[in-house]
Structure 1
Amino acid sequence: MKLYYYPGACSMAVHIALREAGIPFDLDKVDLAKHQTANGEDYYQINPKGYVPALRLDDGQVLTEDAVLLQYVADLKPAPGLAPKAGTMERYRLMEWLNFISSEVHKTLSALFNPKLTPEWKDNQIALFGRRCDFLVKVLGSKPYLMGDKFTIADAYLFTILGWAHLFKLDMSKWPTLTDYAGRIAARPAVKETMKAEGLIK
């Protein structure tokens, strides 16, 4: 199994999940500007969408999209409990979180990567992100993780995207619940290993 990734990108969520699950895998870094892998392959030939993550399975198939890959990893090795059992209401709640993170947090912040973003639209995206943070704080409350006491793939995804706030120099001090949440996840051994492997921490 091989994960195609870019350091700190949304692919980091899948990277975290793989390490949390204890699944053996290889890493292949993608140059997103050139759309080439570290081995010189044309990334469009691997994933025609051109973005990360992509996961090449042992049988040669390639899966894409964070919410799908995260669930695939969790289902591949259920023992660590990264996702509730398929078909349960808890699983649908997890999927609810994955979709919210993808459409309302990930897409809101990812717009800031666009160098042609107008100041007005940038302000709009930052304000929207703030409202999403308000919602997250309200729902998290005193819970350690999104689903309660148990770390899940949704936490790997949200942690990854919240990390972009620092990249864009957004002031997160208004949401201490979220900074505490991110710190709690950053302290997990698998998360530390992931960030070291991606060159984000020493």
Structure 2
Amino acid sequence: MKNSQKGFTNIILIVVIVAIVAVGGYFVLSKKSHQISNNLVPTTANLQTYKNNNYNFELKYPNNYSLIENKTGILISSSQSCQKTLGTGGGQWPKDCFVYELLIQKNKIEGGSAHTPSTKVAGYSSEKFEIDGGMYDNLNQIYIQFEKGGIWYISYVSYHSENKITAENLLHEILSTFIFSE
């Protein structure tokens, strides 16, 4: 009888240990997923619309970002530190700085990592690649580009190397709202 009680005690001990590990794992994973969700780009309810009448498209971007239109496209930035950094031409890329840029030009961009097929943007096949480094420390960029009617639409987001997930979310959030209004 003593041997069967030892076996039963071992089984109970193993079940208790597994339960403790499972509960601990649950709390660790729920805390991590909560931290990630705090870094996500706002939902479409918190977006404003940009319309371009020259190329007949529109897209949406976060309300708390600023937009600048220029000759080659648009620049959307997340904070004042972005504007200061862009004015310096080098140095440390701020962790809170995310810059989305859309270039509209006749040729696509070559270089960076391998160009891989990406999701469709406004119904057009696109390719994705990344560039790490540059004139700013800790600067990385993710590019998604597609061609329509001989014109290349090149979207990219510049971000601090520690914030890739947030940068990818921003890029996909904006591109998921990109439509042509022909």
TM-score (norm 1): 0.27
- The structure with the largest strand share of the pair is 2
Which structure exhibits the higher relative contact order, with contacts defined as CA atoms closer than 8 Å and separated by 6 or more residues? 1
If you compute each CA radius of gyration, which structure gives the higher value, 1 or 2?
A: 2
TM-score (norm 2): 0.28
- The structure with the largest helix share of the pair is 1
